[in-house]
């Protein structure tokens, strides 16, 4: 928790659940990543947290932006981003969205199949396009594989066709999965995609850009490697494959930029020891899977939780949300322990919830209001 957040919580005691995010930490994270990868352009993945305060700070730092929808494109424009600095990075786009983005001056688009390429050729003529390649997502706590990405053979044909259809075959991309905890995933993906890059260049295609996606991890319950390790691994792999002739490099971090900048404060609604012969207590919070903690699905992302009783005797817990849905359980198998003194009315903090929380909150399921947000 940053001092600014601690002061805000103490002074204001906001109604829970709420996200409180320190925008200075967003700036720190951006600078840290820029130092770790000075040759790469940073396209912030807007979906991680599209709050105007976050986008405006990043505009001030000369960030670029990766948008997944026309709405996110417009959030970036509203925050003051130049359209040439926005990449429409979703491979699944409505024609109406492509047309609007193109008209707004966005010139960079992703695709991973023939139909999307044809849509771009027709509705964003002349645009710089890059093909997303399917790569392994091993080592990622929140994988993104299967749903996206062309094969190497498919991408080779599509990039040739892109030029024939009047688009600018600009580059190739991959995404190693979110909360990626191994540098090996980037090295393997760079190796795979660099080979295609070289093949296409030799075939006369004027490729210039390698987009290495996001995935850089935030520290949750478990330690993760430092960002410098990822930066070094990426630069070593790029140099190994391209020598001194490096293409333009792009990264699309989301979680790394905003994850540890914010926390959720929540209230304990109920603590229930449901079986007298089992010490397990069920702790129900006023936020759950539908209130924004969607990444607890499969207990994938394991948030750290602090309570007013930390340091006192602990016992095993399952942690669930307040709704009437049986799927609204965050942690049952991940061996969470919380203080025995924990009781209803206590305020607890879920740390490093600045990414992928506000945007995943449902609107009125069971009548609960969406998550309140404070940006400091």
Ligand X SMILES: *Cc1c(COP(=O)(O)O)cnc(C)c1O
Shortest spacing between CB 307 and ligand X, in angstroms? 28
List the beta strands (DSSP E) in 213-310.
248-251, 262-272, 281-285, 305-306
Report, in Å, the least distance between residue 178 CB and ligand X. Answer: 3
How many Cα neighbours within 13 Å face the side chain of 342? 32
Asked whether position 255 contacts ligand X by CB under 6 A, the answer is yes
Give the pairing of strands 168-173 and 209-211.
parallel
48 or 330: CB nearest ligand X = 48
Question: Applying CB under 6 A, does 48 fall inside the site for ligand X?
Answer: yes
From 213, 231, 262, 339, residue interacting with ligand X (rule: CB under 6 A): 213
**Stretch of 19-27, 100-108, 211-219, 272-280 contacting ligand X, by CB under 6 A:** 211-219
Q: Which of 30, 75, 174, 216 binds ligand X (CB under 6 A)?
A: 216
Residues 227-246 binding ligand X (CB under 6 A) are none
DSSP string of 309-348, one letter each residue: TTTS-EEEEEEE-SSS-TT-EEEEEEEEEEETT--TT-EE
347 and 6 in contact (C-beta within 8 Å)?
no
**According to the binding rule CB under 6 A, does residue 254 interact with ligand X?**
yes
* Least distance to ligand X, CB of residue 251, Å: 8
Binding characters for ligand X, 26-45, by CB under 6 A (x = yes) = -------------------x
Bridge partners of residue 368, in order along the sequence:
none
> What is the CB neighbour count within 10 angstroms for residue 362?
16
Q: Is the dihedral of CA 148, 153, 157, 159 positive or negative?
A: positive
Binder among 29, 49, 87, 178 for ligand X (CB under 6 A): 178
d(CA 246, CA 123): 31
- Nearer residue to ligand X within complex by CB, 158 or 320: 158
- Whole-angstrom CA distances from 171 to 44, 127, 133, 291 are 18, 12, 11, 38
Candidate residues 252, 260, 295, 349; the one interacting with ligand X per rule CB under 6 A: 252
**Catalytic (active-site) positions:** 324
* Residues in 271-300 at the binding interface with ligand X, rule: CB under 6 A: none
Q: Which stretch binds ligand X (CB under 6 A): 92-100, 156-164, 214-222, 269-277?
A: 214-222
What angle in degrees, to the nearest 10, is found between the helix axes of 52-60 and 70-78?
A: 60
Closest CB 177 distance from ligand X, rounded Å: 7
DSSP for residue 26: H
Does 139 interact with ligand X (rule: CB under 6 A)? no
Say whether residue 89 binds ligand X (CB under 6 A). yes
Q: Select from 23-31, 251-259, 296-304, 365-373 the region that touches ligand X (CB under 6 A).
A: 251-259
Asked if residue 141 binds ligand X (CB under 6 A), the reply is no
Taking the complex as a whole, how short is the minimal distance between the CB of residue 108 and ligand X, in angstroms? 12
Residues in Cβ contact with 62 at an 8 Å cutoff, skipping those fewer than 6 apart: none
CB of 374 closer than 8 Å to CB of 354 = no
Query: CA angle, corner 328, sides to 324 and 334, nearest 5?
Result: 145
Q: Which residues bind ligand X (CB under 6 A)?
A: 45, 47-48, 66, 89, 175, 178, 213-216, 252-256
């Amino acid at each position: 928790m940053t001092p600014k957040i601690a002061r805000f919580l103490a002074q204001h005691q906001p109604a829970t659940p709420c996200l409180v995010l320190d925008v200075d930490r967003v700036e720190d994270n951006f600078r840290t990543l820029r130092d770790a990868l000075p040759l790469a352009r940073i396209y912030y993945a807007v979906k991680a947290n599209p709050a105007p305060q976050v986008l405006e700070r990043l505009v001030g730092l000369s960030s670029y932006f990766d948008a997944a929808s026309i709405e996110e494109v417009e959030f970036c424009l509203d925050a003051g981003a130049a359209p040439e600095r926005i990449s429409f990075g979703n491979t699944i786009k409505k024609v109406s969205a492509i047309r609007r983005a193109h008209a707004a001056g966005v010139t960079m688009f992703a695709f991973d199949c023939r139909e999307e390429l044809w849509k771009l050729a027709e509705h964003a003529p002349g645009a710089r396009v890059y093909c997303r390649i399917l790569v392994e997502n091993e080592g990622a706590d929140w994988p993104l594989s299967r749903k996206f990405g062309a094969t190497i053979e498919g991408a080779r044909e599509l990039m040739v066709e892109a030029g024939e259809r009047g688009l600018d075959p600009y580059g190739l991309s991959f995404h190693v999965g979110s909360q990626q905890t191994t540098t090996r995933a980037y090295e393997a993906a760079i190796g795979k995609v660099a080979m295609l890059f070289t093949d296409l260049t030799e075939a006369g295609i004027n490729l210039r850009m390698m987009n290495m996606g996001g995935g850089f991890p935030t520290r949750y319950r478990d330690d993760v490697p430092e960002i410098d390790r990822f930066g070094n691994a990426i630069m070593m792999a790029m140099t190994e494959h391209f020598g001194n002739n490096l293409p333009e490099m792009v990264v699309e971090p989301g979680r790394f930029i905003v994850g540890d900048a914010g926390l959720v404060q929540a209230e304990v609604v109920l603590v229930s020891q449901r079986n007298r012969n089992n010490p397990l207590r069920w702790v129900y919070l006023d936020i759950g899977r539908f209130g924004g903690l969607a990444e607890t699905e499969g207990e994938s992302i394991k948030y750290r939780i602090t309570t007013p009783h930390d340091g006192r005797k602990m016992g095993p817990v399952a942690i669930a949300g307040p709704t009437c849905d049986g799927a609204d359980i965050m942690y049952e198998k991940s061996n969470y322990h919380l203080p025995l003194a924990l009781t209803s009315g206590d305020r607890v903090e879920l740390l490093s919830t600045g990414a992928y929380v506000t945007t995943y909150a449902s609107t009125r399921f069971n009548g609960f209001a969406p998550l309140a947000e404070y940006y400091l």
